[in-house]
């Protein structure tokens, strides 16, 4: 499975719609929320990062899991690092991995 292409095709259209979420994150989660890109990491600085087993990522891609917060994170089968405070917008993005969900979250933040 080409994980990079799969995530790019899935996430970049969502990032385009996620104006308030991207501004709220305003950094790299080893996905670039500033430029709204998904690309291979080349040792750039990051603000937040997750180490998730590739098998879990492949599972989520194959099953088009729209809520990674409840699909992956409760299992504690990942590691995370951050520079700075907790950022709820990161978890909002990973809970909203469909156009309908991202629009719902954006409307929530607009209110």
pLDDT-based confidence at 36, cuts 50/70/90? Answer: confident
Alpha helices in the chain (DSSP H): 3-17, 19-25, 54-62, 68-71, 88-95, 99-110
Q: What is the mean pLDDT of the chain?
A: 92
Q: For the chain, give every domain's residue range.
A: 3-110
Distance of CA 106 to the CA centre of its chain: 15
How far is Cα 87 from Cα 51, in angstroms, rounded to an integer? 17
- Is the pLDDT at 77 greater than 90? The verdict is no
Q: What are phi and psi of 53, to 5 degrees?
A: -55, 135
Give the model's confidence band at 73: pLDDT under 50 very low, under 70 low, under 90 confident, else very high: confident
């Amino acid at each position: 499975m080409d994980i990079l292409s799969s995530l790019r095709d899935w996430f970049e259209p969502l990032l385009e719609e996620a104006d308030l979420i991207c501004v709220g994150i305003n950094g790299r989660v080893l996905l670039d929320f500033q430029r709204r890109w998904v690309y291979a990491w080349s040792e750039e600085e990051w603000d937040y990062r997750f180490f998730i087993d590739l098998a879990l990522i492949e599972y989520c891609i194959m099953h088009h899991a729209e809520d990674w917060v409840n699909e992956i994170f409760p299992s504690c089968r990942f590691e995370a690092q951050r520079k700075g405070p907790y950022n709820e917008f990161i978890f909002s993005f990973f809970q909203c991995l469909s156009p309908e969900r991202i629009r719902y979250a954006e409307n929530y933040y607009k209110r």
